[in-house]
Amino acid sequence: MQRSVLPGLADVVCVLAFVLIGRAEHDGGASLSGYATTLWPFVAGGVAGWAIGRVWRRPEAVVPAGVIVWASTVAVGMLLRVVSGQGTAVAFVIVSLVFLGVTMLGWRGVAALWNRKIATAK
């Protein structure tokens, strides 16, 4: 379980970057509560993905771990946004799919390459 702390934080950082960039781009008068309102559905979606996929077993794996966390982060995040009265415009869904896909799968891809490089160097 301890080896999944950093990967879990990496996923949260991906979501946090998405929220910070998005709110800075679209909401000049951003507040801490505004950031939190946008952040929580996606973090909850990521936590759901970790639980559904038992991601702690192989958190650095692009497939299936990364794909499950990414899909859950977006799907559950959007569902929670709807339930809480927040917007889910098609463009927002697409941007979230792309950004979170690139970052959440991207760090896992980099980790896989790094681990492969280390393994071949031994």
pLDDT digits (tens, 9 = 90+) for 38-68: 999 999 999 999 999 999 999 999 999 999 9
Q: How far apart are CA 59 and CA 37, in angstroms?
A: 27
* Furthest-apart CA atoms within the chain: distance in Å: 53
- Interval 54-107: pLDDT, tens: 999 999 999 999 999 999 999 999 999 999 999 999 999 999 999 999 999 999
In angstroms, the CA 71 to CA 36 distance is: 21
pTM (predicted TM-score): 0.93
Pair 18, 100: CB distance under 8 Å? yes
